[in-house]
């Protein structure tokens, strides 16, 4: 069986599950969760997304896979929003450029919000700078439709892509996510510090918030905080976890 046929089969058999990785704000603990898809393959165990998302994209299966992730993540958010210990959480969902540019994408998200009862203002959609290679006017229209319902947008892997900074002020985004390659060599790498400071300065100048990903050590966290970034995601706090383990983490007061 070709991998793409296995993915089709996996979609029919509901083998795709969503894990959640905490996003932590200085002084507030866990404020949100990034939804990260995993394939619970019957023979190969958990297959990471790098091994199937690109294949799914080439095979035109992202509409289906993306919908499965969206439905699962919004159903989870809906459940969390109704329990006191988790009602404050936002959920961040990765959206590939191919998904954003599908016909009816905005309507499909609004439909999933209605069906699941998830609060739109607690949904963050993570896009990468690769959306800039497409019909950017069309992307902005889709984003504005969702934004008008309260859904927010983040630019994932920020700084690794097509960094014409001029475009940023035209996108209805709320957050920049500093790529892990700029976090890895903190606190000692001067150019990484310069990049963190530049992103923080840019974000503050145009009213965006900033989160850093790939935070693995307390030294990295402290360096980010010293340079103005106060929201973090990474193994220092937790790996991506099944939903029940994520909720347990909150209960334990992490």
One of 7, 24, 47, 53 touching ligand G (CB under 6 A): 53
Give the whole-angstrom CA distance, residue 121 versus residue 148: 10
Q: Is position 175 an interface residue for Na ion (rule: CB under 5 A)?
A: no
Residue 175: which of ligand G, Mn ion, Na ion, none does it interact with, CB under 5 to 8 A by kind?
none
Looking at the Cβ atoms of 6 and 126, the one nearer to Na ion is 126
Query: Could you tell me how many residues make up the chain?
Result: 254
Residue 22: which of ligand G, Na ion, Mn ion, none does it interact with, CB under 5 to 8 A by kind?
none
CA dist list (Å): 236 to 135, 189, 239: 38, 19, 8
Give the whole-angstrom CA distance, residue 66 versus residue 100: 10
Map the footprint of Mn ion across residues 70-99, applying CB under 5 A.
Answer: 94
Burial of 87 (0-12, 13-18, 19+ CB in 10 A): exposed
Q: Is position 156 an interface residue for Mn ion (rule: CB under 5 A)?
A: yes
Residue 240 has φ and ψ, to the nearest 5°, of: -60, 135
Whether 48 and 56 have beta carbons less than 8 Å apart is answered as: no
Site string for ligand G, 122-161 (x = CB under 6 A): ----------------------------------xx----
- CA dihedral sign, ordered 139, 101, 36, 161: negative
Q: Is position 91 an interface residue for ligand G (rule: CB under 6 A)?
A: no
Q: Is position 156 an interface residue for Na ion (rule: CB under 5 A)?
A: yes
Looking at the Cβ atoms of 85 and 249, the one nearer to ligand G is 249
Which stretches of the chain bind Na ion, using CB under 5 A? 156-157
């Amino acid at each position: 069986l070709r991998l793409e046929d296995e993915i089709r089969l996996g979609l029919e058999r509901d083998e795709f599950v969503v894990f959640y990785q905490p996003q932590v704000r200085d002084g507030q603990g866990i404020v949100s969760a990034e939804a990260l898809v995993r394939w619970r393959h019957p023979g190969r165990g958990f297959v990471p997304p790098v091994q199937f998302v690109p294949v799914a994209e080439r095979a035109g299966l992202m509409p289906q896979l993306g919908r499965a992730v969206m439905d699962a993540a919004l159903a989870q958010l809906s459940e969390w929003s109704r329990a006191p210990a988790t009602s404050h959480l936002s959920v961040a969902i990765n959206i590939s450029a191919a998904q954003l540019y599908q016909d009816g994408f905005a309507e499909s998200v609004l439909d999933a919000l209605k069906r699941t009862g998830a609060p739109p203002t607690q949904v963050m959609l993570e896009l990468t700078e690769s959306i800039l290679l497409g019909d950017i006017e069309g992307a902005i229209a889709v984003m504005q439709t969702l934004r008008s319902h309260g859904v927010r947008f983040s630019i994932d892997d920020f700084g690794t892509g097509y960094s014409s900074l001029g475009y940023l002020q035209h996108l209805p985004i709320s957050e920049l996510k500093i790529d892990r390659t700029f976090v890895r060599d903190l606190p000692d790498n001067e150019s990484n510090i310069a990049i963190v400071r530049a992103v923080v300065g840019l974000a503050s100048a145009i009213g965006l918030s900033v989160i850093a990903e790939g935070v693995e050590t307390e030294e990295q966290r402290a360096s980010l905080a010293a340079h103005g970034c106060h929201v973090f995601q990474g193994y220092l706090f937790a790996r991506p976890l099944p939903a029940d383990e994520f909720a347990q983490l909150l209960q334990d007061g992490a």
